Structure 1
Amino acid sequence: MSDVQASRSRRLRLGGASLHKLSAVATLVLLIVAFSFTSPAFFSVNNGLTVLLQTAVIGLLAIGMTMVIITGGIDLSVGSVLALSGVVTGLAIKAGMPVIPGMGLGIVTGAACGAINGLIITKMRITPFVATLGMMMIARGLALQLTGAAPISRLGDSFGQLGNGSFFRVVEMQANGFPKVIFPGIPYPAVLLLVVALLGAYILSRRQIGRHILSVGSHEEAARLSGVNVTRTKVWAYTASGALAGLAGMVLMSRLVTVQPNEGVMYELDAIAAAVIGGASLMGGVGSISGSMIGAFIIGVLRNGLNMAGTSAFIQQIIIGIVVIGAVYIDQIRNRN
């Protein structure tokens, strides 16, 4: 394929991705309207904040996954890396390290796992599916081995601040001496997701590394001939995915105020689903952070609405699976056209 043909193909795929994003927005609106009829509490403030909290972890994973998918790769290890990062943080805090440096160590652990993924893929020429599948097993095994498959608890109240704190919380003391929550506030994880999403969108659209990620996914050989360091670009994308998995682990474990080495199972599928539903192409070269955020909220609203409707967890898995298959099928049709 010539550079002209590659450029034309990318423009067509971007146009298809824009339509895909619009359809994702329409789907999100329809889900909200439909679930508002199934439960009167769906539109309550508390439930809206619950959706934000549930979506924050998926959204953070989806941002990193989007960057990897744009390069034409995949990262199946994010759920296990999330758990390992949480375990490293929990053990560090138990050993006497302050909470913030401990969380930083957990994020660094996630970034290191991502960097190893990138190096295995670029230097050893192993396909992303196999490389990240191996890391998924290694990270999960390490998390279970380091803890003996037992949770790490009693980490202190400060450990729970990130996952359970909020801005602008309004509490009023009643005459009986008990506090009454007037406004629960905006959760820290929701604000963190917004900041990371804006930063990710800025990197993809405004920074050189973002343009390199897009060019590598569009046509790797053409990008190489144009002077793009393909190895460094891929390693950067996988490192970012690992770091965000570590950050998501901090948010999730902080919400639980306990480190669970079994957490994060199947989270990689939610992240992939969010990215693909939002318009990222599994063929590479196309995707956006805004689209992935829409996809993450579709997954979050769908799970929340089904929970409120009393749908069993097993049926929820079936429905999410159908949604993923449908999104990938639409992506294939878009690429063929």
Structure 2
Amino acid sequence: MQAHSGKSKLQFLPSGSTLHKVSALLTLILLIAAFSFTSPAFLSVNNGLTVLLQTSVIGLLAIGMTMVIITGGIDLSVGSVLALSGVVAGLTIKAGIPVIPAMILGVFAGAFCGFVNGLVITRLRITPFVATLGMMMIARGIALQLTGATPISRLGDTFATLGNGSFYRVVEMQANGFPKVIFPGIPYPAVLLLVIAVLGAFLLKRRQIGRHIFSVGSNEEAARLSGVDVVRTKIWAYTASGALAGLAGMVLMSRLVTVQPNEGVMYELDAIAASVIGGASLMGGIGSISGSMIGAFIIGVLRNGLNMAGTSAFIQQIIIGIVVIGAVYIDQIRNQR
């Protein structure tokens, strides 16, 4: 009876994942409060929209990374896949293909890279770290080879729409004939991130593939014995990560209005950091899209606030590295408990 009573009490305690997510949210709120004191412009509408834009790319990468991490894997190739997807889209546009089909082809290029990652990991039984590290070098090499390591420019105004367009933009014409921006509008990338995040959360929580991803990460052998197609589930997760890296590439290159084959360096670390800070466990089986979004915004707010404070990019890397180590340490304590 006593054991049963103890079990009943434990059922009312919040899970480690929930506590991790709540602590991440509190950290985000504290960061916003701290930076608002250090810089009066931090809470301005324009700066808020800038943070949304800066976070959208990392957020998209973090959604795919979270799915992979939940399976117990890792994807180090997303930054290079991002660049290769942009190069594929840019070269396709230069070949005369319309912008939208070219961007779709770029996303498919990213998905194909993820699919290959999944195949190598499941069929050749190579560890995710090594397999995706190889893809990181391959994708970057292909991007640089196809472009000769030079940017692809003059892609047209339509190409810039995704990264620079916005909803509900309010512009007023002044007496001198020049326009004045009243409200810059909600950026397209921010809306796209919201849509993908909601879709990703729905798949993880409400669909069979989501349940399979969690079961594979929790106990792969038990999942296999329960009838879960482990190979298919892992390939799906890595393909989704690659596709979202491709989509992030479209957003980033569109913002730059130029395809840069050297873009995306170290982005995989930001994506991993966002997932871990948001509560995903590197041991697998634990994670959420909402937590990863909180983690992505922590990184975005931290970078933006430090920039406004005049902190060098090198110091920013040190600070974010410390934050990641702290998040992983908390994750280890949670797993031990």
TM-score, with length taken from structure 1: 0.96
CA displacement 1:197-227 (0-9 Å, x = unmatched): 0000000000000000000000000000000
CA displacement 1:80-138 (0-9 Å, x = unmatched): 00000000000000000000000000000000000000000000000000000000000
| 1:75-114 equivalent positions in 2, closer than 5 A | 75-114=75-114
Say whether residues 1:62 and 2:62 are aligned partners: yes
RMSD: 1.1
Change (3 A) 1:154 1:14: farther
- C-alpha separation between the residues in 2 aligned to 1:316 and 1:12? 39
Change (3 A) 1:163 1:13: farther
Q: Which amino acid aligns with 2:271?
A: A
CA displacement 1:127-158 (0-9 Å, x = unmatched): 00000000000000000000000000000000
- C-alpha separation between the residues in 1 aligned to 2:291 and 2:317? 22
- Displacement over 6 Å in runs of 4+: 11-14
Say whether residues 1:15 and 2:44 are aligned partners: no
Q: Which amino acid aligns with 1:37?
A: F
Say whether residues 1:126 and 2:126 are aligned partners: yes
Gaps of 5+ in 1: 1-10
Note the C-alpha offset of 1:250: 0.2
User: Counterpart of 1:240?
Assistant: 240
| 1:212-223 equivalent positions in 2, closer than 5 A | 212-223=212-223
Partner-residue secondary structure (3-state), 1:274? helix
Taking every aligned residue pair, what percent have the same amino acid on both sides? Answer: 85
User: Counterpart of 1:31?
Assistant: 31
CA displacement 1:160-204 (0-9 Å, x = unmatched): 000000000000000000000010000000000000000000000
User: Counterpart of 1:155?
Assistant: 155
User: Counterpart of 2:321?
Assistant: 321
- C-alpha separation between the residues in 1 aligned to 2:227 and 2:13? 24
User: Counterpart of 1:8?
Assistant: none
Gaps of 5+ in 2: 1-10
Note the C-alpha offset of 1:13: 12
Q: Which amino acid aligns with 2:136?
A: M
Q: Which amino acid aligns with 2:115?
A: A
Q: Which amino acid aligns with 2:240?
A: A
| 1:175-186 equivalent positions in 2, closer than 5 A | 175-186=175-186
Partner-residue secondary structure (3-state), 1:42? helix
Note the C-alpha offset of 1:295: 0.2
Note the C-alpha offset of 1:12: 11
Partner-residue secondary structure (3-state), 1:72? coil
Change (3 A) 1:12 1:103: farther
The aligned length equals 327
Note the C-alpha offset of 1:239: 0.1
Note the C-alpha offset of 1:14: 8.2
Note the C-alpha offset of 1:232: 0.1
User: Counterpart of 1:7?
Assistant: none
Alignment check: 8 A CA contact 1:66 1:289 kept? yes
Change (3 A) 1:12 1:307: farther
Change (3 A) 1:59 1:212: same
User: Counterpart of 2:172?
Assistant: 172
Note the C-alpha offset of 1:16: 0.5
